[in-house]
Structures are given as C-alpha cells and as structure tokens.
Amino acid sequence: GDGVQIKLFQGRRKLVPTVLRTMSANISLIYQLIKNTGHHDNDTRYMATHDLITELDKVDVLEQSLQVRIRQAIIAQLDDKNTDVQTVAVRCLSTLVQKFDGEQVADIVGKLGSLVADAKQSANRDVYGIGLRTAIVALKPKDGKRLAGELTKHLLRGLNQEIVDDGQIHAVCLDILKELLARLGSALSQDYESIAKSLMELLESKQPSLQKRASFALGELGRYLGEESFKKIIDFISKGLNAQTDGGGQTTNVAYLQTTSLICQSAGTRVGRYLSRIVPALERTLKSTGSGSGDSSSRRDELWASCLQAYESMIRECPSHAAVHLPTMLPDIFRLLGHDPNYSYEAKEGIGRNGDPMEDDDDGDWGDDEEFGELSEMDGDDSDNSWKVRRAAARAVSAFVQSMPSFTLQPTQTGSNETYLSRVLTCLAARMKERDSGVKAEIMKALSNFLREISNLIPTSPVARTVLMTGAGDLVSNASREFTAAASDARGKGGQPTMRSAILDVFKELFGALASGKGDNRDGDKYIAASVDNVLVAILDPEPALVLDALTTLRVVLDLHPPLALIHNAKDPKDGEKRLQEVVGAIVQTIQKGPHKVRAEALRTSGSLVRIFKHALGPASQTKEAKKSEKPSKKSGPWGDAKQAGVEVGRIFSAVFAEMNKEEVDLEVREMAISSMTQLLASLGDHPMRTGGPNVEDTLALIAGRLKNEVTRMVSLRALTTLIASPNIT
C-alpha cells in the first residue's frame, strides 16, 4: 500500500532505502510505462514517456535495477525516429538526473558526452546536445562537481577534431561547454588551459558560427582564469584586433570584438588595465568607412555594432579605467547613434506622419516600425544592418549616463561651453523619430535613464538644471509627437502598448527631474500640461498594461508638482474647469470598468487628487459663509466655479465609496479604496462645496464595519486613526 518502505541490508553497510513510495506513485505502472516506451506506435511511446515523468515526480528514491531500466529506455528514445518522442525524452532527462543516484547520473552524462563527441553519430547529435545541456542545468551541485571534469574531456575531444563540413561536432560541443562553464566553471580548474587553447583556435576558424560560439564560451571562461592565463587571452585578442584586415577578414574581427565585449562583461575591472591596447583598435575600426555598398556595407555595420557593444561593456563594467578613453569613445558613439544611410527622415516627415490629410498610406519599401522591430530581433541576411549600429550606440549612451553621471558635467572639448550632459540630451531627443521600433525602444530607455540620473544631479548642479530646462521643450514636443504616432500605429495593428509605455516612462522621469531641487523655481511646470494630455489619452486606452503605466505617471505629477501645472492656461477658468473634468472623468471610468489591478492603481491615484481639489474648492472657512447665506459662490479661480469643482469631488467620492461597499471585490482593490477614501475624507470630508457622494457618517460606519473582517482590519484601523485626528471631520 501507499507509504510502504522496502529496506535492504548490504553487508555491514547501514540500512539503505531502495524504494520509497510517496504520494500515490504506482511502481507497477512505472514498469508498464518503461515497456511501452518501446512500443511500435509513436503516440504510445510519447504518452508512455510523458506519464513516466509524472510518476517519477511522485517518487523520492528508486531501486538500482529500476533506475537502470529507465535510463536505458530514455537514452534509447533519443534515437527515436519521431521528433516528438525525442523531445519528451530530452525533457525526461531533467527528472532523471534529479531523482537518480550518482552512479546512474554519471552513466547518463558520460553516455551523452561520448555520443556528442563521436564523429560517427551525426544523425542525432543535436538531440544529444540538447539532452546534455538539459542534464547539466538540472544536475545537483554534488553530482555536477564530480562529473564536470569527465564531461569536459569528452567535449575537448570533440573540439580538437578537424573541422569538416559545417562543423556540427564543434558547434554542439561549444554550446554544451558554454553551459558547463556558466553552471560549473569553478569545478574545471584543471582544464582551464586546455579549454582556452581550443577556444582560441576556434576563434581563428573560417566559420562565423563557430567563431561566435567560441567567443561566448571564452566570455564565460574569462571570469575563472588566473592572471597569467587571463593575460594570454587579452594578448591573443589584442593581436587579432590590431591585425591588418582585408575585405574577407572583417568577419574574423567581429569575433574578436564580440569576445572583447563578453570578457568585459564577465571579468569586469580585470580588463580595465588593458584598455589602452584595445580601444585604439576599436577606434580605427569605427573610423573606417568600407565601400559603403552591398555586402561590404553590411559587414562594416556588423563591425561597428560589435565595437559599440565592446564600448558599452567597458563603460558599464570598468568605468574608472574607461573614463580616460571617453573623449575617444563618445564622439563615435554620438555619431553612430544617427547612422541610417538608407533612409530619409525628412521625406517621412514630409508626407504627414502626424495625421496630415495628404498622408500617403504606402510605407514604401521600409514598412513600419513594428515590422522593423521584428527584424531587430533577427540575425538574418538582410542587407541593411544599420539598425544594429544605432541600437548598440543607444545602449552605449545609456551605459555612459548610468555608470558615469558626474562625468557628464564635463565639457565635450577643452574650452567648450557644451557639456556631455547637454550633448546626450540633444542627441537622444533628436533620435526619438527613429523608424525601427527595437532601436526606438532603446532610445526611450536611454532617455529614461538619462532623466533619472539628471534628477540626481540637479540638487547640487546648476548646470544640470540649465541643461534640462534648455532641452525640455524639444523633448516634450518630440515625445508627444511620437506618442501620437505610436497610438495611431497601435490602432491599426490591434493595439501594441510597448512603445507608448516606453514614452510614458520618459514623461514620468521628466516629471521627476523637473521637480528635483527647484525650490520656488517653477519654470519647468510649463511643460507639464502638454505632457499630461498624452497621459490622459493613455488612461482611457483599452490595454490594461498601458493604463497602469499612465496612472503611475499621472500620480507623479499630482504628488510632485503644484496643481496649476496641469492647466495649459491658468488665466482661463474654462481651461482649468475642463482639465479637472478630464482628470476626474478618466480616473472614475478606470475605477468603474478596469480589471482589478488597474482599479487598485486608479484608486491610489484618486487619493493624490486631494491637492487639486483643495485648490479648486478654496478654503472651507470661506465657502461655509457663502453656503450659509444661500448665495451662489462668486469664486471663479483658475479651476473655474467652485460649485462645479464640488461636483467633480463628489464623483470621486461616489466612485471610491462604491468600491468600498462591494461585497465581492479583490482585496487589493478594497484596501486601496479604504486608503483613498481616508485621504479624501481627512482633507475634504465636510467641505461645504462638495456636492454628491456619501456623507461622512455613512463612510465612517462602513470603515468601522470593515474592522470585523480580519483581512481588512489593519487598513481600517489605520484609516480610523487618521480620520479621528483630522480637523476636517466634525
């Protein structure tokens, strides 16, 4: 029956459990499934292996004889003629190496390693390789350290063979070696020299796919090498980078460049002392122009992109050493951020991108942003690889502003008034028009990182604030244009929120930066209202992820900026009245109709409306007298008539109270409704100008009633504590 444990004495050895049945595992069923793995029907074999995984997951320990039979069955299935059966057998390996004892795991890993390196086993080598990588990931640490050395010998045997045809043996062995180094690299110390020697030889091969795999493996190996071995790798790379190249040698240089970047990522500051030998070679490559056409142009772009990736890694991983070389690096990074020789942005803008009635619906040969976004993720043979250069440049700029924010305050040239900070902002703002969606996403990310860093610099640097205020106008204008264009594209494609979310993040960081260390200086507030227009449009979008981002962005404005910053023209009461209706309408609609996470965020944002409401309604002491005299309020400030503002306040109160009063509602929504109502009541509970919504007594009674529920007791208790102390509730 279940829970039975069979025990076996072996000589003087202590009691050893051989079969431990747990949960509802059926051992007899396991035997039947093993038998079915050899069935003539493909579906039967597949389901037998699938069910075997399920049964093995229920067993903690298996007897040796059963382990042997399972191992033999699964290894045999790796040679199955049906690919689905092969796939499920590979998946089963992960379970086996976790459930089996060390001896059986060693047999599995050794068998697969031998098959991978065997020149005669070409038919299913890819399957063996995938299976071995699956096993490596699942290995228990103890087994991994014990088996790593033996597996490395198999892999080196495969790597040291002569490269024939497509180099399949080498490709599979390199993929496995990279996984092995990443997972168990510290256990291979005796083989570091042999591995490095094999990888450097493959880096000089004539097959780009092997070069690329060798560079990734070297990148993983770099973190483990001793100083002498590490210097040998750097000497080898430096020699390759500085070698003279002809048209056919450019591909080889890409491999050296990739290796440089990867070793910078893995070895960090250890590379810093060698940058003086590496950077000049990269600079020469970036200054080369190639023939500018056909395959040569494409190879040139690959080289440039690889150089910029290496620059990014150097700046990010060893900034103190890279700082000396920034005057050399940055001009090329800024220049190549706009490298798009096959496209005219002026022509695109000339055909009415922003909704001109004369706009041509035909996108020509280039397609649209989303189409290029897909290309950005591919390493195909497309002749235009310039997007790779621009993307790498954008990432390098992002690394610069994140890793060296203080350096951005330095002048771009001796005696120049232009700082790197202003140069970065100018370049990034100008590139927001980028046609490739993948590159544009990196531009937006770089801008968000820039604005986050500049907000940290502003409190102590007047230069940083001047740079932001000088460039904020163009930044808002460009971001608004791209947001409108992205919204238009999304409507035609079923709504993809990714780009609009990235632009909203730029707005959010801009709002934070404009509020940084400004004291009484409100110059930056003039840029808020135009940006909020886009935020309100996003709040009403049907895509929940976009709505969440928009609500978070709006809350930054409400919390950090004065209420009047939301109004385009503070001298026109109608403008303020309209804005208040727009903001309240968007939030109320989201509270009433959004999914629970969106409703919770909308409720959180509604609490931040308090500052606007207090500004729009005016002091309660003044409006009380007007109400007692039963005369209409004469007040007509920047938010319009106070009575109309009171109606909007009532709408928010009603929407929040409705969420509080629901019996069946998500806990997060209920807690946020209580918290939001607490903020509203504490500030505006008995304000005489509030029109509509629940009265204070009913609201307090409802919150007090939530004390009876253990789940909402704490948030209700905090709410009542706040409300009791509020002078605005009588």
Mean pLDDT of 296-319: 90
Give the position of tokens 């483990």. 224
Query: Rounded CA gap, 339 and 328, in Å?
Result: 18
In this prediction the pTM is 0.81
Query: Rounded CA gap, 482 and 428, in Å?
Result: 13
pLDDT at 230: 93
Check residue 663 and report its DSSP letter: S
Mean pLDDT of 459-488: 91
The two tokens of residue 88 are 């499920």
pLDDT at 43: 92
Confidence of residue 218 (pLDDT cuts 50, 70, 90): very high
Determine contact, residues 19/55, Cβ cutoff 8 Å: no
Residue 136, beta-bridge partner list: none
pLDDT beyond 50 at 52: yes
Q: Which of 53-62, 425-434, 659-668 has the lowest mean pLDDT?
A: 53-62
Query: Rounded CA gap, 422 and 430, in Å?
Result: 12
How, if at all, do strands 636-637 and 640-641 pair? antiparallel
CA distances to 139, 152, 185, 224, 385 from 136, in Å: 5, 12, 12, 19, 35
Q: Which of 724, 721, 565, 594 is nearest to 665 (CA)?
A: 594
Residues 6+ apart with CB under 8 A from 293: none
pLDDT beyond 50 at 352: no
**Buried/exposed 408-423: b ≥16 CB within 10 Å, e otherwise:** beeebeeeeeebbbbb
pLDDT at 22: 42
384: left (phi over 0), alpha (psi -120 to 50) or beta: beta
Percentage of residues of the chain with pLDDT beyond 90: 46
**DSSP codes joined into one string, 360-429:** -S--GGG--HHHHHHHHT-----S--HHHHHHHHHHHHHHHHHH-GGGGGSBSSTT-S-BHHHHHHHHHH
pLDDT at 192: 94
The two tokens of residue 285 are 């490559």
Most confident of 237-251, 368-382, 554-568: 554-568
Mean pLDDT of 234-245: 81
Q: Which of 191-205, 211-225, 239-253, 401-415 has the lowest mean pLDDT?
A: 239-253
pLDDT at 492: 52
pLDDT beyond 70 at 375: no
pLDDT at 394: 97
Confidence of residue 23 (pLDDT cuts 50, 70, 90): very low
pLDDT beyond 70 at 521: no
Instruction: List phi, psi (to 5°) of 663.
Output: -80, -45
Residue 17, beta-bridge partner list: 7
The 10 Å Cβ neighbour count of residue 247 is 11
Return the sign of the alpha-carbon dihedral for residues 692, 698, 700, 706: negative
Mean pLDDT of 84-111: 89
**DSSP codes joined into one string, 233-296:** HHHHHHHHHHS---GGGHHHHHHHHHHHHHHHHHHGGGGGGGHHHHHHHHHHHHH----SSHHH
The two tokens of residue 351 are 């055909």
pLDDT at 451: 96
Q: Which of 151-160, 365-374, 644-653, 675-684 has the lowest mean pLDDT?
A: 365-374
Determine contact, residues 342/386, Cβ cutoff 8 Å: yes
The 10 Å Cβ neighbour count of residue 366 is 14
Give the mean pLDDT of the chain. Answer: 83
Per-residue model confidence as pLDDT tens digits over 568-612: 887 788 888 899 999 999 999 999 988 999 999 999 999 999 888
Confidence of residue 181 (pLDDT cuts 50, 70, 90): very high
Mean pLDDT of 21-38: 76
Q: For residue 327, give the H/E element and its range.
A: helix 326-336
pLDDT beyond 60 at 467: yes
Confidence of residue 523 (pLDDT cuts 50, 70, 90): low
Q: Which of 59-73, 118-132, 233-247, 420-434 has the lowest mean pLDDT?
A: 233-247
Q: Which of 219-223, 372-376, 426-430, 695-699 has the lowest mean pLDDT?
A: 372-376
Mean pLDDT of 183-187: 91
Query: Rounded CA gap, 574 and 527, in Å?
Result: 20
If one compares 347 and 662, the residue with the highest pLDDT of the two is 662
Residues 6+ apart with CB under 8 A from 101: 64, 67
pLDDT at 556: 93
Instruction: List phi, psi (to 5°) of 543.
Output: -85, 115
pLDDT beyond 50 at 632: no
Confidence of residue 9 (pLDDT cuts 50, 70, 90): very low
Confidence of residue 506 (pLDDT cuts 50, 70, 90): very high
Query: Rounded CA gap, 582 and 543, in Å?
Result: 19
pLDDT at 671: 93
pLDDT at 490: 63
pLDDT beyond 90 at 403: yes
Can you give the residue ranges of every domain in the chain? Answer: 337-346+369-374+383-553, 562-730
pLDDT at 378: 37
Half-sphere exposure of 118 (CA within 13 A, CB side): 13
**DSSP codes joined into one string, 612-645:** HHHHHH--HHHHHHHHHTT-----EETTEEHHHH
pLDDT beyond 50 at 680: yes
